[in-house]
Amino acid sequence: MKLDPRTKMVMVICLSCLALIYSTPGRLLLVLAATIVLLLIFRFDPSTVWGYLKPFLSLMLMLFIIQCIFSPGGKVLLSIGPVPLITYNGLLVGSSIILRIIVVIAAALLLTTFSSRDFVLGLVQWKVPYELAFMVFIALRFLPVFREEMINVITAIQLRGIELKKVPWGQKLTIYRQLFFPLIYGMMQKAQQLAMAMENRGFRAYPQRTYLRRLNFILADYVVMLLSSAATLMLIFLQIT
């Protein structure tokens, strides 16, 4: 289905709002299923979602354990003597947190189904200042760059004979802390190079910008945006009331 990039932005906002509003695993699973269906409609391979989720697995596992321990209530599933460790309510809360993160990441992948130029152009045609739209684009663009820089630093460590998988957790945290500064230094260098390239190309030299093409809504865009917004507002209203 060929839709305007702004229509897909509206859909991402609607799915993210539902993921933040809902707090039960059942409803979050329904939102996740709807997100996967949309990814299939726009010919995005759902199996690649795992590649985007993999860097966040340790964070999600930590959040799950913390929520299970510090969200008491319901039947006690695991305890240490008289102290309840994992309860039914904690398990539900932890599962909800994990599903919420997955839904937000999967919904954001809809933004990868169109080019970055269309993303900036769509925001500009929504009367967002070009500087702000470009700033949002650069922030999204630097996420994979940050990931690649991290992989390069870890690879350099492994080439020196250090196997991180065999290093104890205490020493591993020390190594990661020492890697933080070269990682930040590399990112600052890339940011400086980007700033120089923008200045050399006359960024913000004129108050008004011209564009080679414009995005235009079709009937399907209006229908999808109307249905998505109406359904989201109705579901939020039902959840609140």
The 10s digit of each residue's pLDDT in 21-31 is: 888 888 899 99
The 10s digit of each residue's pLDDT in 193-226 is: 888 888 887 777 777 777 777 888 888 888 989 9
At 230 the pLDDT is: 93
Q: How far is CA 227 from CA 7, 11, 37, 238, in A?
A: 11, 10, 16, 16
Q: Are 84 and 72 in contact (CB under 8 A)?
A: yes
Instruction: Label residue 227 by pLDDT band (50, 70, 90).
Output: very high
Q: How far is CA 14 from CA 34, 114, 122, 138, 221, in A?
A: 11, 18, 17, 23, 15
Domain boundaries, the chain: 1-114+214-241, 138-210
The 10s digit of each residue's pLDDT in 131-147 is: 788 887 777 777 667 77
Q: Which amino acid is at 107?
A: A
Asked whether the predicted pLDDT for residue 7 surpasses 70, the reply is yes
**Integer Cα distance of 191 and 187 in angstroms:** 6
At 81 the pLDDT is: 64
pTM of this structure: 0.73
